[in-house]
Structure formats: structure tokens, C-alpha cells
């Protein structure tokens, strides 16, 4: 299995609570719709010590499943329509479990 983690820092001029809620619902809704995507957890409740606004913790069957997810039309639609327009900074970390 492969873990795919992302931390996003949202743009200052967006309604962070509304954007985070929309991203969370959209990405978590992909489970069961994309082969190889096992789990998707979007964390929006953070401690004040956090430097990011949203964290994605996702699990895939394999590295190939992660690669397929990244190009899947459902994911691309959310990434291009809801995530990228509202994000200032993105960091990712992938690893095998």
C-alpha cells in the first residue's frame, strides 16, 4: 500500500472555512469511485501551531494506483476546479506501508 499525504496553505483572500469544507466533501467523495483508492481523509480542524490549512491523508493499493488517481478525470476536475484556484502552497509526501 502507498500513503499519499498533502498539506495545503490556502490563499489569504478566500473564505477558508467554506473552501476547506468543499474540498473535504469533494475529495472524500472519491472513495469507491476510483479504483485503487482505499481511504481518503481530509483534515480541517487544526491546532494553532499548524502552518497549513488542510491536510489530506490518503491510502492507495499501490504506486500505480496513486499514479492512476492523479490522472483520473474525477480527481482532475476537483483539483482544477476546487483545489488549485484556492491554494497558495502545496507540499506532498508519499511512502509505502
57-92: pLDDT as tens digits: 999 999 999 999 999 999 999 999 999 999 999 999
Tell me if residue 86 falls in helix, strand or coil.
helix
CA distances from 7 to 33, 46, 62, 91, 92 (A): 23, 12, 21, 5, 7
Return the DSSP state at 61.
S
pTM, rounded to two decimals: 0.94
Q: Which three cell numbers stand for residue 19?
A: 473552501
Amino acid at each position: 500500500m502507498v500513503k499519499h499525504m498533502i498539506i495545503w496553505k490556502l490563499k489569504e483572500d478566500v473564505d477558508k472555512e467554506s473552501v476547506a469544507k468543499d474540498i473535504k466533501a469533494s475529495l472524500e467523495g472519491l472513495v469507491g469511485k476510483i479504483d485503487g483508492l482505499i481511504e481518503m481523509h481530509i483534515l480541517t480542524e487544526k491546532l494553532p501551531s499548524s502552518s497549513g490549512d488542510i491536510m489530506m491523508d490518503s491510502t492507495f493499493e499501490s504506486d500505480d494506483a496513486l499514479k492512476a488517481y492523479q490522472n483520473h478525470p474525477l480527481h482532475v476536475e476537483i483539483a482544477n476546479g476546487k483545489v488549485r484556484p484556492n491554494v497558495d502552497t502545496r507540499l506532498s509526501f508519499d511512502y509505502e506501508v
